[in-house]
């Protein structure tokens, strides 16, 4: 069975500093990994995904994520945080290509302080 762990409930970072939101996964077979962001009272917005290829994936709003197979991790990163990045971030995994459901982590609340 697939699972996703986001070990931090909350991440605080000062505006302009780099940020990292951690994610580790467990899946049988090849992993397909996704990051979504949720703003208050809104649905989830897709940020980026890893399917195959380069381990560093670039996504929306300046975010990127690094796939590390040996550590089974897919941490979300941004070189310089903005106050507007404050939101709830979800990592998700799917174990095969196609239209199978996503398995989500519990989410990490990011607060960027001016």
Partner 1 sequence: NAGVMQNPRHLVRRRGQEARLRCSPMKGHSHVYWYRQLPEEGLKFMVYLQKENIIDESGMPKERFSAEFPKEGPSILRIQQVVRGDSAAYFCASSPPVRGPYNEQFFGPGTRLTVL
By the rule CB under 8 A, 46 interacts with partner 1: yes
Min. distance of Cβ 83 from partner 1 in angstroms?
23
Closest CA to 25 of 57, 70, 63: 70
Residue 75 near residue 66 (C-beta atoms within 8 A) = yes
Q: Which two tokens stand for residue 110?
A: 């990011």
By the rule CB under 8 A, 36 interacts with partner 1: yes
3-class state of residue 84 by DSSP: helix
By the rule CB under 8 A, 100 interacts with partner 1: yes
Residues binding partner 1 (CB under 8 A): 32, 34, 36, 41-46, 49, 51-52, 90, 97-107
């Amino acid at each position: 069975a697939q699972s996703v762990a986001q070990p931090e409930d909350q991440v605080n970072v000062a505006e302009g500093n780099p940020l990292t939101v951690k994610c580790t996964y467990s899946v049988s077979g090849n992993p397909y990994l996704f990051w979504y962001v949720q703003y208050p009272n809104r649905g989830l917005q897709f940020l980026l995904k890893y399917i195959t290829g380069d381990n560093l994936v670039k996504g929306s709003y300046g975010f990127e994520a690094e796939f590390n197979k040996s550590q089974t991790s897919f941490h979300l990163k941004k070189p310089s945080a903005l106050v507007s990045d404050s939101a709830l971030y979800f990592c998700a995994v799917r174990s095969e290509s196609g239209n199978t459901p996503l398995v989500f982590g519990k989410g990490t609340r990011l607060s960027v302080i001016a």
